[in-house]
Structure 1
């Protein structure tokens, strides 16, 4: 996971423009949801009640913007969504129901008033969203959970890291391809465990291969830098040979630095393991000043 810088405000598409209902779709649909769930007739066991409209919160314009803000990556595992599936518009606070643990009964209703709230939406791969997170939303103190009669979510202390408002590097580090929680409250560890970001061997193998590629670039760059550092005057005067070495080294270093960018898959893992070493190589190259 890495920090996500979400576009603000929300893309302003959702309107019934040119009709007698020229109002914000999210606002009007949120009102309908609140009227249903807060009515005295609400029955959590009624499966024919209010249906959340994915055509609104998952509309094309919003989904495209979320993908752009997240560089087409899952907000949790950092896999490129298109490499796995079409991706889901994920509700950080689940809309229909919420659960403290997988084995607990569901709290109904969920955070229905946030179903169409831009700030509550992320993009997640289906693996993380449908198979793992689903309606899970544990709190450090479950008694603080906001309900249909108390919507003050500010008092809640969620367990899951929210990458839009928190920097995951303060909660999670990597030992090679394996993420580890590091915060005192255990939020990093719990996020990793509940979303199965540690023991999924398919995911670990992908991260391992990614790490091996980056390490191969590091080894190549080290060899080339050491070659340049040990050049004698005769080679330094051979402009074509020197330019060839510099060009190859500069290109490899540029590729390596790209692995630290937000747009790179598993950037959090690469930064945690190798950012210091990569920046040191960059500095060694600059000192050469050739």
Structure 2
């Protein structure tokens, strides 16, 4: 993930418009309006219709609040050209170019409702709206510092088989008790699971391997420690920068083959994190946004063949393999085996293509049992 420098925005007229909208939302005092009531027969909260409010001023306040937010796109779209210029017209989350659809002005902290794994979160027991759906960070709807530029793939709902990708309103925290629930709260107390592209510390935790896969990056590693086999990934660039030789190979094994192996796996690159948080947050971001679900079948098959070719070279031409290299090879084999087992099924849209590509692997005992017999000559 690339760090996005976020300089001050200087368009005075636009800033005034955004500030006025924010003040309108605050004046509506939406947090004091109870918009749900308990529906005992259905054992859930039900939203109150306008006609059910005895105090009609509450109806007016809620209508003004909703109208201001619903028309917000007219305001924050004015900032979009500036946001696009900050990362060369690329998505701030996946760093990809989008030539088929416009980018979205994404609200890092959701402006309407908050979900976790696409399931709505509710107000906690300590809040006067306990059990009702969270309103979201509505006071940040017109706050430029809450804007991120996102491609529609990262921002909106996308699906692959039974898995749904895309940020939408997902915004869980490491500690939900620290969540800010009012407009004058201290946001610095929160630690989101989603990595933030304008936070330089966050962006260091996610890298892209040579295979094109997004992967957690162990920037908090202490490379002076002797045990580096934590099986959580570290980028090859990080290894080279610290001048650590992880594999002592003889002259028969080319360094390029080692480099390819190191960069080939998804979650098998050598590395060690000092905190679980660093790995979990990066892994959550990769899975939520579906960063590794976008590979076309041809690219994935080519990656398999590249890994297998280099494994063969290492196994055949390296006479003195140490335990470290053996473990790496075994992990890569298991990584491919897992991918193949997930894909070789009738439900996968590219199953016939993949199986055709896998026919070349029929002589490999550790993978051929996954290929349907009908496809093995």
Give TM-score scaled by structure 1 length: 0.61
Between Structure 1 and Structure 2, how many residues are aligned? Answer: 198
For the 8 Å contact 2:121–2:134, the answer to whether it is kept is: no
1:92 and 1:122 mapped to 2: Cα distance?
6
More relative contact order, 1 or 2 (CA 8 Å, 6+ apart): 1
1:76 to 68, 93, 99: 93
- The separation in 2 between residues aligned to 1:37 and 1:165, in whole angstroms, is 31
Q: CA deviation at 1:202?
A: 4.3
What are the ranges of 5 or more consecutive residues in structure 2 without an aligned counterpart? 37-46, 50-61, 123-132, 158-165, 219-275, 307-377
Task: Work out which of the residue numbers 99, 102, 126 in structure 1 matches 2:115.
Answer: 99
Aligned to 2:106: 90
Which residue among 17, 30, 38 is the counterpart of 1:25?
17
Which residue, 178, 181, 187 being the options, matches 2:281?
Answer: 187
Q: How many Å separate the matches in 2 of 1:195 and 1:155?
A: 24
- 1:57, distance to aligned residue in structure 2 (A): 1.6
Alignment of 1:217-236 (within 5 A): none
Query: What CA deviation, in whole Å up to 9, does each residue of 1:117-151 have, x standing for no partner?
Result: 11110111111111210001111011111102662
The alignment status of 1:41 with 2:33, answered yes or no, reads yes
Structure 1 residues 195 and 39: alpha-carbon distance in aligned structure 2, compared to 1, 3 A threshold: closer
Assess, with a 3 A threshold, how the Cα gap between structure 1 residues 151 and 125 changes in structure 2: closer, same or farther.
Answer: same
**1:90-143 deviation digits (Å, cap 9, x = unpaired):** 111111111232234464211111111111101111111112100011110111
- Map 1:230-245 to 2 at 5 A: none
Unaligned 5+ segments in structure 1 are 16-23, 213-290
Pairwise CA RMSD: 2.8
The 8 Å contact of residues 177 and 204 in structure 1, kept in 2 or not, is answered as no
Any idea what the Cα deviations from partners look like across 1:245-283, whole Å, max 9, x if unmatched?
xxxxxxxxxxxxxxxxxxxxxxxxxxxxxxxxxxxxxxx
> If the length of structure 2 is used for normalisation, what is the TM-score?
0.48
Measured in 1, the distance between the counterparts of 2:25 and 2:176 equals 24
Counterpart position of 1:174: 208
